[in-house]
Structure 1
């Protein structure tokens, strides 16, 4: 085929592509030391994050029990997931409900507490930050809540309600499907002041104070206008980081369900997508089916993350 078979337009696009590639390589040579420093991180990230995700996506189209070579089954795992697996549909409903409640509330709570604490003197701010952050790293979290919602009359919740005449006999809090999911949501909200909370405090501390002076000159008259037009736009990186963390926590809930309620939970009332993944991946060793579950979860988290990025981009407008 002649070199000019594509016409002038094709040649123009080809020259533009070569120009961009040339600029890219020149920039890489110019900043070669910076690229050398971040290369180990990208190698680790690619090996332990990108590669497993791609491998899981490929395995989701196979039948694989870890003893025999994977067998290609196409979309069978996904058809089974949404058409035949009633337990997965329960897990999907529980996960979405859990995420819709705990995600936004915990995100706003992290920012609200960080915003309020940021106005305090340094020593008091450090003390309150430690107090609020402590539950997220506490090792006896489940023991505290199991004691609070114990099924006998010695449980704090039952004892209080019996004392005040609200109930006549103890409630089986952690065995009754009516209360299980609500208790898990409550526990997750209590644990939510973690990494995002610290990121928001750091972001508030790094906002340029001269922006508030410039805002006052431009017509900003109250704290809410300062928050919307100055503070939040200046904190977009921290807001995005906090959103990613809260989305991950909201969709990946499993540990508190397994340790507090048991596995499996009564009537699958506390069953989530991750506990379903644990069931098929770590107990039954149906790795192809487990990979399909993981792919669905990853897609849900990715779509939520993209939507959150779009919403955060409108902050300050």
Structure 2
């Protein structure tokens, strides 16, 4: 009997994910502490945070793999607890597809997954070949999985989760451990998925990944969402862009600094060793006035740039620590271990 839901999935613009007050504790460890999320269909939504922030635990609750202690969540309007069977037909999750058999090849594993999802034998083989090519695994198609590297396994894991290209795909740190070239290929694949109709909820601790991919970002730390918005909104929330000037003649540094502060009406900082002046830049239109004034004073520039705050600065400002926090008492790895013990 055909599923009644496939023709009833909201299109672009509806809510793919709605979560309110999600909480999950493992013993005394409060891994997720009241998370709210709204993910619009047809977008890439990034959940950014360090190890131990609660990202993976949140994903597992949304994907029906872990029951929340409190709160509620809906996937395309379906309750993840009351309608879990329907929800599972609408999602793909990296990490839930281990190999069927380590001694089987990549092709054989993908064919088995495809057959389990209802594809015919010929269609399963075609789909397997297509996915292996997409993820750069064609040359390793006949190699047993036990001989795969960690990066190859991660790519195959994502390939398996995309066999049916579900409306919503959860990617839990999909590029961890990948080399830069493979990571870039993965980014292109994620963008293609959204262009062809899927919604992607992506967890990452890579700032550049969130910056490159996400339409909106939730910054999560210690189990709570501490900021949410577009990349530009998050950057703007912590202050202005910065103007950086490098002066050709170090003897002009103080004159240049005085001009910068007068024209821009700001306080500046000077790195005398590098011959560089840095100042907040609220209005980029004032750069022209500044350049004219510097020229009139005979100050020659070696370099000029205007830079927005980085996501690293955003995270540091919001949380008080950097994003690369490798050890934490509430780590997601610990949450998973405690979950297994509790079963």
Q: What TM bracket, shorter-length normalisation?
A: under 0.3
TM-score by length of 1: 0.25
Answer with 1 or 2: which has the greater Rg. 1
Q: Which one has the bigger strand percentage?
A: 2
Task: Identify which of structures 1 and 2 has the higher relative contact order when contacts are C-alpha pairs closer than 8 Å and 6+ apart.
Answer: 1
